[in-house]
Structure formats: C-alpha cells, structure tokens
Structure 1
Amino acid sequence: MPDRTSARTERAPVVERPDQLRNVVLIGCSGVGKTTLAESLALAAGAVGRAGRTVDGTTISDFEPIEQQHRRSVQLAVIPLEWNGAKINVIDTPGHPDFDAEVRAALRAADSAVFVVSATDPISAATRALWRECADAGLPRGIVVTKLDIARSGYEEMLTECHDAFGLGPDTLRPVFVPAYDGSRPCGSVDVLLGRTYGDPGDTPDLAQIRESLVEAISGQDDSLMERYLAGETLDTDSLADGIRREMISCALHPASAATDYGVGAAELLDLIAAVFPDPTHRRPGAPAADADAPVTAQVVRVTGDAYVGRISLVRVYAGTLRPDTFVRLSGPDHTDDATERIPTLTSPFGKQQRPVPDAVAGDLVCIGKLTNAVPGDTLCDPENPVVLDPWPLPEALLPVAVEGHTRSDDDKLAQALARLTAEDPAVRLENNPDTHQLVLWCTGEAHAEVVLDRLRNRHGVNVDLVDYRVALRETFAGSAKGHGRLVKQSGGHGQYAVCDIEVEPLPVGSGVLFEEHVVGGAVPRQFIPSVEKGVRTATAKGVATGHPLVDVKVTLVDGKAHSVDSSDAAFQAAAGLALRDAATHTTMRVLEPVDAVKIVLPDDYLGAVLGDLSARRGRVLGTENAGPGTTLLRAEVPELELARYPVDLRALTQGTAEFARGYLRHEPMPEALAAQHTQAGSGNGH
C-alpha cells in the first residue's frame, strides 16, 4: 500500500512504459463534486497542500477567473498524480451541458471513466446519456458516490439507484470499497477484498456477504478463477484484482467506491485506479497500439491561449515517444496540405503551471506550446509514417449570439481574436451572415455564450456589444402589377434619359428572380436591355418595399423610351429600379420568413409540453415516431424567428433531456400582423 503521508511534490510525474499510466476522466453533472474529488485525490497523492493550491497559489481545477466567479468548471483540466508506481492522469470535466464538447474531448483522451454521482441528488438524464455513450464506445467505467456525509440515503441505496438508472445487468455493479460510519457521518472506508479499514473504523458493515458476492462476480467470468473458487481455494488479492481489471476492460463489471468532501475515500480511489483500472496498452477499438517504440502518433485534445507563451496544445500520445526538437506531421480536416512542425519543449499541465518533462511515452498526456496551426482533433505523426485519426463528434451549436465591436479599435482586432477563439473552442461556430450583415457566434447555450464573450474580452482584449439577432427575411409580390419608371435629368451638357414599363408576376416559392423582355419596335434599344436587367436585379437584391430582398417574381420589360444623346447604361438601370418600386405600390407585398425543419428526440414524458410549446411558436408538427424505449422522435417545421432561444427553452422544458437539430427548409409568407413589425430595412429580431 502507498505511503499516505508522502510529502508534497512539485515535479511532474514521469513514466517510462505505457503500462505505468492510467488516464481516467471524471464524469457527472454540475454539483456532484467532481472538482472537489479531483482536489481530494491530489491532496491524498501529496501533489497539493491542504488548501488544494499549487505552488503558484492557484487551484488545479477551475483556475480561470470566470470559473471562480461562477464556481463552475467550463473546461477540462488534467491533474497528473503519482501513486503506487503509476502515473494517474485525472481529467476533471465540466458538468454543465453547455460544455459537452469538453467532455467529449476528455473521453477521447481517457482510457476509463469514473462516474461521480451525488447521494443528495437523482442521477440526471445527461449522466445517463453519457453512460450509454461510454457503453457504446466500450469505455471501462467505475462509480464513486459522493456527499454521503450530508445525504439522507445510504451507499447501498445509491448503488441500487445507479443500477436502475444505467440499466445494468446483474453482478455488473460491485462495491470494492464500502464506507464506515461514525453515526451518520462517513469516517473511513473498508477494502472489501482485504477486509482492511482506512481512516477511523467506525461502524463497519458485515463484509462477509459483500466480499463473497464480489468474488463470485469476478470468478464467474474467469474459468480458472471459478475452478479455484469452487475447489474452496482462497483467492489471493492479486488474482482478484487482475480479474476485476479483465472484467472492467470487457465492461462486464463496474467497481464502486465512496468519497466525502473532506477527503475520506480519496486514497482508496487512487488504490483502486492504480490496481484495477486499465492502462493504455488495453487499447480501445480503432486506437493505435500503445507501443513506446513505434512511430509517433498523437492527437490534439484541446487548445488554450496563454498571455505569455501563446497557444498551448494538450496532446494524447497514442503510439511512439514524443520528444522535444523532433518534427511531426500535422494532419486534419482544416489542413489542405500536411504541414511539418517542430516540437519545442514538452510540459505537463498542473493547474495554470506548465512543468517541463523530457518526453511523453505512448498513452501519456502532454502539452506542446506554439503549434500555431493545430486545432482540436488534428493528428500529429511521424512524417515518414503518416496517420490520420478521426476527430470526435461535437455538439451542434444552435444558439445565435450577434455581436459587433464596441469601438473601431475593437472592430479592427475582432477578426484575429475570433480566429484564435474558434481554434481554442471548436464548439463555437462563426458566421458572417451575408443577408443580415451580422457577425453571429453560434454557441451551445447561454453559459457557453457567456464564457465565449468573457474570453474575447479578457483573454483576447476585444470588447463586443450584443445586438439583436436578425433572421434573413424576404419580400415578394402577392399579385401581378405594372410599373412605370422615368428618369429625366438635364443639368448642362449630356443629360440622363430613360423610360421603362414593366410587368411583374409572382412565381412559386424558390423560383428566384426571372427577367424577360417583350419590347417591340425598338422602343428600348437592344444595347440597353442588359442595363434594364441589371437595374432590376440590383433593385431586387436591396428590396423595393420592406427593405428585404425581393424574390420569386418574373419581371418583363414591355415598353420604354430612349434618347439618342442622353440615354445611357446608368440611366436605364435607374429607370428599371424606379419601375419596380412603382409596381410594388400597385399590389400587396408579402414578407417571407425562413422556416426550418426541426427534429427533436425527447422522453415521452415531455412530449405533450413540447408539442404545446411548438404550437405557440407557430410550428407545424409533421409527425412522431418511436426512437427507443420511452423516447420519441418528433419532426416539425418552425419559423426561424421562433427558434433564436429554442436551445435554452427546450432544455428548461425537458430538464435537459431533449436533443434537437435544425436546418433551413424554405421561405414562406409571414402572418400580416407580424409582418407589419418588420417592414423597415434591417428589422427581424429574434424572439
């Protein structure tokens, strides 16, 4: 067993072999105590002092100002620890659903997961969904129950809830450490396999039955262990630990333990991770073999910005050994040509510190500075042995945030700042909308938007103002109309003269603008017909009645007049625009709004509420279908104007259990009462 009084260390752990590594991601919703658990693990390993602080006085997680302000993680944090001859890379992740991209990146970097569940709260739908996702990916998982010191329910009751919530089969969830109590307060833990108590003994449960059940579960999947067990042989701890590891790797067993906010259970969890959690040599499907002597293959997990050293890339090494002053090939979807870059010094992250390390073997996590072209998901490999690893899926950013620079100076710096920001945070989607001329940051939710704006301001030194998000409205003719355009100007020298008579007819949705000419007798000379068409298309692009582009009309030039000296290309362009605007005064004009096709996957319990909400948003439900046990897929058409805040509202309506996707479908007439609010150029604010 480890020396639990080990002195605090300020050097970075270094390993020589992949089997000495454990990469473990902590997963759970906000408030369950993941960051507290991570700090307790660091304290137990002697990596931080009692205040959970690094040598520079910062915390090892939640060290960004916005994290400390809101007491909420917004990015993953890697905490390398030494324990029992192993290097354990603990990856703390945000619990808020807006930062799911960070969780997905952490899952790619990890070889196993610890699901953190609070005994004071029910298991969230998001946590259940992540469990299913990990199960589908074959990621080994364990469970830690927190907050038992303030909970009304006990450890066994919480494991029963986990069993039901995660849909586990019999014998798959087994306690390896059981809390000991001083009254109702956990004061220590009992190792089920060894029967040894850590901390204060307190009131310990009867371990005989618990141990017997665990041993049976381990032996039941291993013929040699089962033979020894049935023969009455006492199985040694190492054999049982090996059995747990095999069962974890096959996802047939999920070990459970407990931890408190004041550190009880932290050392025991480190024991468990070091002894039975898989190392990188037990590779997941599709990943390169963790061979330290193979050609280098690595993947960028995330990119952060630092005011002093610039961009820092967190990298998972899958194969080979990464060393400073070597060259790697950078490949990814954003790179048209594979680029070769030199690796500068390697560092190990620890809070805001970057501690130098000599190299990084296969399976390890390491930081590289000044990879100026790298983005999350990119592959780093030996130039002579090119490999491209698939990036992980990202949540779709569906919440629009329209911004503009606060000052001219901010405008000048904004483009460069946004380029850096989107490289650091691939969950942000940047759009320069050609229709509304707005700069739109598409985010995953309000909390994500707040972080994006904070980083623009504090990390990149650019202040922006929020402006109302606008949708791309259009206008069209409700009926046929005639228009007359006459331009006559005489101010000395050559004047300007052109007359156009047109007829306008509405066309079906999606037809665009069609121009024809039926001029007889040369009333408009042939050389000016293209000028008329150009004037028509210029006017339709700007709009003639409401300030929105005119679409789905046929414009026919039927007559006109010209002057042998004063007519010109510019004159006929202007006359065509006047004729089109005149025609708009002789019929009803309709405002067209974009309509999106929407797909929503949600639990059946919330179907009625979501249907009612869609009706209030002028949505048309096309149908529903079964999407799995207790789940429905709903298809609808909804005006884009009604969807600006839909990601936030849908999450509140379904307690974060629904997912939705959207895509542009078509433009269609807006109700007249609503259209009256959008007859000025540039209007169209989202609700």
Structure 2
Amino acid sequence: MGDKANIHPGAAGRARAADRPSSLRNVVLVGHSGAGKTTLTEALALTAGAVNRAGRVEDGSTVSDHDEIEHRQQRSVQLSLVPVEWEGIKVNLLDTPGYADFVGELRAGLRAADAALFVVSAAQEAAAVAGATRAVWEECAAVGMPRAIVITHLETARTGFDELTRVCAEIFGGDDPDAVLPLYLPQYGAVGPDGHAPVTGLAGLLSRKIFDYSSGERKETAPDAEQAAALGAARDRLIEGIIAESEDETLMDRYLAGDEIDFGILVQDLEKAVARGTFHPVLAAAPAAPGAKQGLGTLELLELITGGFPTPPEHLCPAVTTPDGVPRPQPVCDPDGPLVAEVVKTASDPYVGRISLVRVFSGTLRPDETVHVSGHGLADRGHEDHDVDERVGALSVPFGKHQRPLDRAIAGDLACVGKLSRAETGDTLSAKDDPLLMEPWSMPDPLLPLAIRAHSKADEDRLSQGLSRLVAEDPTMRLEQNQATHQVVLWCLGEAHADVALERLRSRYGVQIDVVPYRVPLRETFGGPAGGRGRHVKQSGGHGQFAICEIEVEPLPTGAGIEFVDKVVGGAVPRAFIPSVEKGVRAQAARGVVAGHPLVDVRVTLLDGKAHSVDSSDAAFQTAGALALREAAAEAPIHLLEPVAEVRVLVPDDYVGPVMSDLSGRRGRVVGTEQSGGGRTLVRAEVPEIEISRYAIDLRSLSHGTGQFDRAYARHEPMPPHIADKVREEGAGAA
C-alpha cells in the first residue's frame, strides 16, 4: 500500500468500469473536532485530480465548500459527500463533523459507508483520542466495519508519531494491540525556527523504500544505512501482525524459521485483513504545500482505500421488512436486484427545494421513476410514519457548490435526489409494487431543551413550517408542544446543535425567534385537609346566576390523580348540577390553585350546597366548584411537586467520583453503579429534572467529552420548601 506500484506494475490495468459495484468504495472520515478531516478530504481530492493546485473545482469553490453557518461556526456541522476517482475506482468520501453535538451526521455517514478512516491529530494531547472517538470505534467494531487510522498535524505535533501510534493501539486495539500498527514511518527534515521539524516523506515498512514528498510530488528512493536500521524493528512487528491475520497457517512457521516472505503475499494478506476488519493500519498524512501536486501520504491512503477497503458487495446490507413488519430476504448489492435505497441525509436548498442524499443498497435508482417511500417515523420527535409513493426528481452528485447530473445510481453508490417532498432522513426507497422498510440505525436521544417562541405575529405562521422542515432534516432533534407548560420546545444534543438550529430557522426559513427560559412541568398538591365554600350569586336584570357548594379536600398518595366524591344529602344540590360542580373543580385543578401548575393527588368531596329554581345553571355551578377549590387552597399548605428522572450515566472509570459528586450536588440519589466493560462504569441515579435541564452540556465538560447519559421520567415528588418558594417568586416575577 503505497508500495502497490512495485507489485502491480500495470496500475492502469487495475482500473475497472465505474458502473459496477466492485468499482466503488464508500469511506467515512471520523475523528475529533479539529483533527483535520476536511483538510484531508481536500488533499485526497487534489491528489486524485478532482481539484486544481489551488484546491478549487471549475466553479472556484472547494469540493467540501462550507455553507454560511459552517463559516460562522468555524466548524463542520453536517455530513458532506466528496466523490473522487482513482485508478478507475470511484471513491465516495464522507466527511463528518467531529463535534459531539452533530453525532447524528456522523451516524448517517457510518450508515452510508463500507469502511472508516479515523483521523487523529498529533497537535492535540493523546487523551483527545479517547472518549467519543473510541465510542465510534466500538460502534464500527460491532458491525465489523473495516477501519484504518490516519495521523495528521505531525508538523505541529505535541505527541510524536510513535507515541500516538502506541496510544491508538492501546485504545483501539483492545486485547490485540498488534492489530493496530503503522505501515509507514514519517521522515523529518531540519528543525525550523518554530521548533518543529517538517515531515518530508514516509518510509515504507514493507517495501523498505523512502517516499520523498519534499518536491511536491512523491519520489521513491532507497533508504540509507541509518534509515534502513530504523525500519528494522517496526518492520518485523508489522510482518508478524500481518502473518497473524493470514489465512495461510504455514506462514508463521516459515517466518519464524527465517524464510523471507514474498512481498506480494504480505500485501495481499494485509489487504484481506483490512477488508475483514481484523487489522487496522496506521498511516500519516499532511495537506499539499502551495503549488504541490500531492499531499504527503495521500497516494498511500488512496492505494489503501482502493486496494484494502471492501467493495459494497462485500459489506452486508441492513435487514429489511415489509412496511407492516414481515421479514424479507436481506438485500444483495446487485444493480439488477430489487430497489432498496435509504435517505441518509436531508437538506433544503432555497432554489431547488429539498435534496435527499441516498445510499443505494440494491437495484438501480433512475430519475423520474416512481418509488415507494417507507419511514419508521419518530412520533416523539415530530416525525410521522411514511408509506407513500413519490416521483424521483433529478439525480446528481455534489461537487463544490454545484450538483453534477447523473443518469442513474447503481447498487453501492450514493447520489443526491431532488423533489422527494415526503421523504425524510432514515426513510427507505423501494419499488412501488414491492415496498420495503430497512432496519433503522441508532440515533442519540436529544436531551438539551430549547424553549422558543415566535418574535412577532408575522413569524408565527412561518415558525410551524420552519420547525417541521428542520426536524425532517435532522432526526436528532425532537419537537415538543408541551401541554403542561404551553411551550414549544426543541430538544437538541448540545449548545452548538441548538445554535445551528436557530440560525437555520432565521437564515433559511426567515423566522425570527425568541429563546425563553425552559419550564419544567411542575404540579401542585394539598399538604393537608381543608374545606372551601364556593358562592356564585349574581343578579343584574333578567336571568341571574345562583350556585353555592361546600367541599372538603384531602391529599391522596402520589399518582392517585383527582378523585371527586358526592356526599350531598337531601337534594341541597340538584342531581343535574353535581357533574357541573365536578367539572368546575377539575377545570380549576388543571389551571392550578397557587402557582399555576396542575393540581393532583387529592380527593374532593362535595358535602352541601344551595340552588335556585330559576337562576341556577350548569355554568353557575361550574364557577362555584372552582371558587370552592380556590378557597380550600387558601386554607391549606400547598406543596409543589417536581418531576424526578431516572438517570443513567456511562463514563470512564476515572470520572465516576466527580460524576457521583456532581449528581449529589443536584439533589440526586445515586442508586447503584455497575461495570460496563472497556474501563467504563454505569452510574444510576434519581435526579429532579429541574436540576438536569443542562446536564447534556455539564456532563460533557465534566467528563471531557467522554460521558453519555439517558433519562426517563420516574415520578413527581414534593419540592423542598426553600426551592419551592424560589420557584414561586420567579413565577410571580415572570407574570
């Protein structure tokens, strides 16, 4: 790999037609924020000839040109597709955001890809490799996705190549650190005025050649004596690692006996081990210098991708069912098979409307054909189920700021589809006469609430439409119309995610929005028994209003709700009006009796009352019932009840102590811990929801991005008096 030209002298002879699944490679670039994924993508495009030496395509844009939001955020916030060709093979590079708030885009990239490049920056501390990056590595391992590691920023390294490789082997290798080994060693020039030595080339451990990039193009030279000696131990370890993964069980014996293993056999076994996902080579890369034709290590990376990464037919397709859940045979990556494709990303363009990025798993997708759209729906996130036919618009592939038209997209390929007005991210496209539904991929639960409202009356009409489009594009958002607090709440993954959502609503959909404090849905209950008398007597000419009722209220156990009991004797309240009293009591309970929160867990007993033969009415007794409940509330202590959540926090063992201490500081009760494997611990606790509205942000800071949590409603409990008083004061001030 990087040495392929030496064992396949007719490189052009390896080129295959670009219209077969075997001539496709789908690769997702994964790594922490700032690792250099986008820069590496552009460097690969330059080496493959997709852009000129200035890094531009014909229209002057870059292949991974950022939108305005990304420019303002100064980080990637969305999945982008960059197709390049190398030796007759089309390589779809999927550049993903590294920031944890945009993990939904990362998961979409993993779904669309058949292999992953983990990009690790040497300019950051070695600890930055851990955490979220390791979690993604484990996700790939769970589905057997082949992976390789690319180390960037060696020219400004805080952590040397050898040390970072060792850290990667410890973190990613698990029980087999020899499954993570370098294929090349960087070669350095003289130390510059900034104290850093430039990386001038790579030493191939298998070929024992030096690949010099100092001129802007790769040139092969033989190593001198010092360089050759430096390669020895690393080369021996690499060969042993490759042989350990070989299907030829005689190789190890021959190697230990001192036989020289043929170079071609080593490369062949290496490629097979990489494609199986059992060996993970480490490479180094750097962007091209101004005017250079190639970035350091980019040729080697392209050779690894085209030679070592699997073709789409080698990667198992997700399981499928009919829309009503009947299992169907697993799709096979065959252009002539039944159509099975999936929307992995949805975007809106102000000029052409909705654009869907689609991975075709089976069959061939063509423009202007009618397909069936099936969607699981995420009702709790504002997504409906889909089961409709739609006409496919134009097919295209992104390049710079423009879309290049396609006449078809075959199994294994990715394409952008226009005018799918109903399809959303995660939906399945299939033949209209044979509708299918793909098994969904895992999406994180948004746990940061953002309460919003339209800035003006004119914005109210646009807000609903903008929000529906926003959640259609991003299934990691959840839209909630909270009936208890009457707030519109957009649940996000973090602050950056929320900022992007607000910016898109403003700039793309023209909605001006105010962010308001998020209110946790509280409840009220009686702290002791009390009585109340409701008197509603009015006479203002003509028909009057007359209703009097007396009630007794007593608290009930948590979860009992509202009970209404009739103990009227002697017809003091006519039977026809007793339901009216109950209706008035329940309506007042829903509105609250002190702080405007629903009243729960009480028994209301109607004891007595008075009526008038002419002036009594349903409405009058409803009003009297409400007045009686309010009077009873004035005579008894009213407790505020707050929701308590069951919280499960998964963190590395090093952070268990700080996490438990932090939860206790939030009035939480830790109910247990358990080992979760991989040096991590699951902490289970019960915490008032008012204390964890921003826990998604706080946990990320506390655990340096390595922790994750989920929550579920448990029950409502009485709020401590001093906190309840503060909440009442804040409510009175807001009113």
Give yes or no for TM over 0.5: yes
1:413 aligns with 2:462: yes
- Cα distance in 2 for residues equivalent to 1:684 and 1:468: 13
**Residue 463 of structure 1 corresponds to which residue in structure 2?**
512
1:113 aligns with 2:137: no
Contact 1:332/1:378 (CA < 8 Å) preserved in 2?
yes
1:331 aligns with 2:374: yes
- Cα distance in 2 for residues equivalent to 1:366 and 1:242: 32
CA RMSD after TM alignment? 2.2
**Residue 160 of structure 1 corresponds to which residue in structure 2?**
166
Deviations 1:39-66 (A, max 9, x none): 1111111212334333333333351112
**Residue 238 of structure 2 corresponds to which residue in structure 1?**
214
Deviations 1:617-637 (A, max 9, x none): 111121222222432211111
**Cα gap change, 1:337 to 1:113, in 2 (>3 Å):** closer
By how many angstroms is 1:161 displaced?
Answer: 1.4
- Cα distance in 2 for residues equivalent to 1:570 and 1:255: 78
**Residue 56 of structure 1 corresponds to which residue in structure 2?**
59
1:85 aligns with 2:88: yes
Contact 1:590/1:669 (CA < 8 Å) preserved in 2?
yes
Q: Any residues of structure 2 matched to 1:180-259 within 5 Å, and which?
A: 180-183=187-190, 184-196=197-209, 197-200=211-214, 204=227, 206-207=230-231, 209-220=233-244, 221-223=246-248, 226=251, 232=259, 235-237=262-264, 239-259=265-285
1:264 aligns with 2:296: yes
By how many angstroms is 1:385 displaced?
Answer: 3.5
Deviations 1:51-103 (A, max 9, x none): 43333333333511121123211011111001111111111111101111111
Identity of aligned residues (%): 53
- Cα distance in 2 for residues equivalent to 1:652 and 1:186: 34
**Residue 10 of structure 1 corresponds to which residue in structure 2?**
none
1:104 aligns with 2:130: no
Contact 2:169/2:178 (CA < 8 Å) preserved in 1?
no
Q: Any residues of structure 2 matched to 1:112-511 within 5 Å, and which?
A: 112-121=115-124, 122=126, 123-168=129-174, 169-183=176-190, 184-196=197-209, 197-200=211-214, 204=227, 206-207=230-231, 209-220=233-244, 221-223=246-248, 226=251, 232=259, 235-237=262-264, 239-262=265-288, 263-284=295-316, 286=318, 288-334=331-377, 336=385, 338-511=387-560
- Cα distance in 1 for residues equivalent to 2:369 and 2:435: 15
**Residue 40 of structure 1 corresponds to which residue in structure 2?**
43
By how many angstroms is 1:211 displaced?
Answer: 4.1
Deviations 1:200-258 (A, max 9, x none): 46985544554454344334412188288779466253x44432221113222112210
- Cα distance in 2 for residues equivalent to 1:389 and 1:106: 16
**Residue 29 of structure 2 corresponds to which residue in structure 1?**
26
**Residue 608 of structure 1 corresponds to which residue in structure 2?**
657
- Cα distance in 2 for residues equivalent to 1:170 and 1:571: 80
SS in 1 for 2:138: helix
By how many angstroms is 1:606 displaced?
Answer: 1.3
**Residue 6 of structure 1 corresponds to which residue in structure 2?**
none
Contact 1:502/1:579 (CA < 8 Å) preserved in 2?
yes
Residue number among 713, 718, 732 corresponding to 1:664 in the alignment = 713
Residue segments in structure 1 that go unaligned for 5+ positions in a row? 3-12
Opposite residue 473 of structure 1, the aligned amino acid is L
Q: How many residues align?
A: 674
**Cα gap change, 1:342 to 1:684, in 2 (>3 Å):** farther
Contact 2:173/2:180 (CA < 8 Å) preserved in 1?
no
Contact 1:15/1:87 (CA < 8 Å) preserved in 2?
yes
By how many angstroms is 1:360 displaced?
Answer: 1.3
By how many angstroms is 1:386 displaced?
Answer: 3.2
- Cα distance in 2 for residues equivalent to 1:480 and 1:432: 35
**Cα gap change, 1:46 to 1:98, in 2 (>3 Å):** same
Opposite residue 206 of structure 2, the aligned amino acid is L
SS in 1 for 2:502: helix
**Residue 5 of structure 1 corresponds to which residue in structure 2?**
none
- Cα distance in 2 for residues equivalent to 1:345 and 1:70: 31
By how many angstroms is 1:325 displaced?
Answer: 2.3
Contact 2:317/2:333 (CA < 8 Å) preserved in 1?
no
Contact 1:298/1:319 (CA < 8 Å) preserved in 2?
yes
Query: Which stretch shifts more, 511-520 or 269-278?
Result: 269-278
**Cα gap change, 1:70 to 1:225, in 2 (>3 Å):** farther
- Cα distance in 1 for residues equivalent to 2:415 and 2:714: 45
Contact 2:94/2:109 (CA < 8 Å) preserved in 1?
yes
SS in 1 for 2:97: coil
Query: Which stretch shifts more, 671-680 or 192-201?
Result: 192-201
Contact 1:60/1:77 (CA < 8 Å) preserved in 2?
no
By how many angstroms is 1:467 displaced?
Answer: 0.3
TM-score, scaled to structure 1: 0.94
By how many angstroms is 1:170 displaced?
Answer: 4.6
By how many angstroms is 1:430 displaced?
Answer: 0.2
TM-score, scaled to structure 2: 0.88
Contact 2:551/2:605 (CA < 8 Å) preserved in 1?
yes
